[in-house]
Structure 1
Amino acid sequence: MWRHWMRELSRRNQLVRYDERCNGLSQRHVADVSFDTMVSDLECVVEAAGLDRFTLLGLSQSCAVSIAYAIRHPEKVSGMILYGGYVKGWRARGDPGEIATREAVSTLMRESWGKSNPMFRQAFCSMFIPGATHEHFAWMDDLMRRTVLPDDAWRLQAAFSVIDVSDLLEKVRVPTLVLHAREDNVAPVESGRTMAAGIPGASFLELESQNHILLEGEPAFDEFVAHVRAFVADTAGS
């Protein structure tokens, strides 16, 4: 699911990645999952890794975190790549119908995430990777169950729902490339267009895919990698 991302992103460059709080190898049941704390976490990772100047890649909700970091530390960011992101979370967007639907999903998440019956998690997976095989679904189901506890999953979704970086976009002063899957069900492509339109000088590219997480073997992933490599090469000295 992520192996091809790690392989291709590290093929020509050093790749530094981390699990956000309450996820994967990071500490579980952390009390504070606020947006500002997540930005501070990124600052800590950069400091611990001893990074002086680098290309910053944000995926999904971490696009907003990346934007905030780049504004705080433009001297460290040679370029920023944002994939599948959004300017406002679903609650911040304020659409009553969307809020009602998402709240229902959040309730199911809290009650069903850790259960042995994978029905809810598979439905959740289908939002992220509708083009996946049964093997992909099984792998992602196992990954979600093992790496995020039910209450943490619910709290993180609540935190992501109120993200709003609309007032930060115009403050970005680093070269930026925004990419988005055209038929993304998690973050509609309009979210990417809005993000790119608000960032001075940003480039925007739509990828022909349904998947929020691009899968190995689909042309959109190869296109993503090609544009990322070209952008890194063009901005490394900026």
Structure 2
Amino acid sequence: MPRVSRDGVSIYYERDEGDGTPVVLVQGLGYGRWMWRWQREALAGEYGVIAPDNRGTGRSDAGLPPLVPRLPRKLRAPLSGKLAGYSIEGLAADLEAVLDDAGVFDAHLVGASLGGMIAQRYALEYSRAKTLTLLCTSHGGPDALPVPEETREHIFDVPKGASERETLRHRMRPAFSERFTNRNPHLMDRIIEWRLERDASDPAREAQAAAVLNFDVGNRLDRIRVPTLVCHGTNDRVVPVENGELLAEKIPDARLELVEGGSHCFFIEHADRVTDELRSFLDEHE
């Protein structure tokens, strides 16, 4: 499988061949390529898909200073936030390196959460984006609604005495609706296994979180000149739905689609609805 090096860091990506303009699926904070499995299966062949691993995730290198991963979390987290963290600018440059290596000149960019931030910055800095689809994300900065404090504590909490699987399950709860997790216990078990296998390590996840905290393109969105689909769940407990509404207001050629009752991971819980909206949007601009 292909790799490209940028800034001395190896970035891994996968490519599914298809007939149309490639769809590039950009992951959320800490999440591996598994998160796109439903949309990827639906689009591959028709459009073709490029699925990179964000820096520090899956098979991509983290590129962190050697000392950082060895530090205890209490010392490591502040260091990641101030000195060793990633930036959205750098993650967008990684994406540009991937698309250049893949020989892609036009691409439909689809990003969720952190991936949506990367897609915004990419569209502002580079020229390969044909359309944008932004899921459960924000433009950052003081005008955006922050992650609720209760959710932030839950996501980064490490329950005392909990196993790795129990910790992941605990951290995931705000991203899914209780109804979905109760009705799909076997799928949630599989997601835990996928996360253990393919997600970012804790140090890389903290470095990605630093990129989110420092992101702000709120006053630049009027410069995005490509058709944009903004999708958001109305019950998102991680990135409040008002952030999707702000994006749709500030991006000139944007359309907002709200999924009633949708959680942060509404692209999994409502996979068919999200995939239908995405395919319809792509067909319109293909």
Please confirm whether the aligned pair reaches a TM-score higher than 0.5, indicating the same fold. Answer: yes
CA contact (8 A) 2:227 2:254 kept: yes
Q: 1:2 and 1:79, CA in 2 relative to 1: closer, same or farther beyond 3 A? A: closer
Q: Which residue pairs with 1:59 in the alignment?
A: 112
Q: 1:14 and 1:137, CA in 2 relative to 1: closer, same or farther beyond 3 A? A: same
What is the one-letter code of the residue matched to 1:23?
T
Q: Which residue pairs with 2:191 in the alignment?
A: 140
CA contact (8 A) 1:35 1:163 kept: yes
Q: 5+ unaligned residues in a row in structure 1: which ranges?
A: none
Q: 5+ unaligned residues in a row in structure 2: which ranges?
A: 1-34, 66-84
Q: Counterparts of 1:64-75 in structure 2 under 5 Å? A: 64-74=117-127
TM-superposition CA deviations, 1:159-218 (whole Å, max 9, x none): 2222212122111111111111121112111111111111012110001343322366x5
Q: Counterparts of 1:210-229 in structure 2 under 5 Å? A: 210-214=262-266, 220-229=270-279
CA contact (8 A) 2:38 2:271 kept: no
Q: 1:28 and 1:83, CA in 2 relative to 1: closer, same or farther beyond 3 A? A: same
CA contact (8 A) 1:106 1:154 kept: no
SS in structure 2 of the partner of residue 118 of structure 1: helix
The percentage of counterpart residues that share the same residue type is 22
Instruction: Give, in whole Å, the separation in 2 of the partners of 1:85 and 1:226.
Output: 19
What is the root-mean-square deviation of aligned Cα atoms in Å? 2.8
TM-superposition CA deviations, 1:1-40 (whole Å, max 9, x none): 6432210122421111111000011113535521211010
Q: Which one is further off, 176-185 or 153-162? A: 153-162
What is the one-letter code of the residue matched to 2:172?
C
Instruction: Give, in whole Å, the separation in 2 of the partners of 1:72 and 1:117.
Output: 38
CA contact (8 A) 1:125 1:140 kept: no
Q: What number of residue pairs does the alignment pair up?
A: 228
1:198 aligns with 2:250: yes
The answer to which structure has the higher strand fraction is 2
TM-score, normalised via structure 2 length: 0.70
Instruction: Give, in whole Å, the separation in 2 of the partners of 1:196 and 1:215.
Output: 18
Q: Which residue pairs with 1:123 in the alignment?
A: 170
Q: Which runs of 4+ in 1 moved over 6 A?
A: none
CA contact (8 A) 2:155 2:171 kept: no
Deviation, structure 1 residue 144:
2.8
Instruction: Give, in whole Å, the separation in 1 of the partners of 2:216 and 2:122.
Output: 14
1:78 aligns with 2:130: yes
SS in structure 2 of the partner of residue 173 of structure 1: coil
TM-score, normalised via structure 1 length: 0.83
What is the one-letter code of the residue matched to 1:123?
H
